[in-house]
Amino acid sequence: MKRIEDLIEQLSLLEHILEARFIQERSTQTQTVIDKGHRVGRALKETEQSIEWNICSRKSG
């Protein structure tokens, strides 16, 4: 009976470890998506500024 209780306790600990790893992995994936989103946002802003500059230079030229 003691052996079964020990195994149940080990399984419970393993479950918590796996949950923590899963949460950590999801957090890493989420941060990656956020970082890529920021990069895309900066690229879009730079593109908009470039287009505005080209339009203004054509109007003045």
What is the residue whose two structure tokens read 């957090």? 27
Residue 47 is classified by DSSP as H
pTM of this prediction? Answer: 0.62
Task: Output the pLDDT for position 39.
Answer: 97
Q: Residue 25 class from Cβ within 10 Å (0-12 exposed, 13-18 middle, 19+ buried)?
A: exposed
Question: pLDDT tens across 25-58, in order?
Answer: 999 999 999 999 999 999 999 999 999 999 988 8
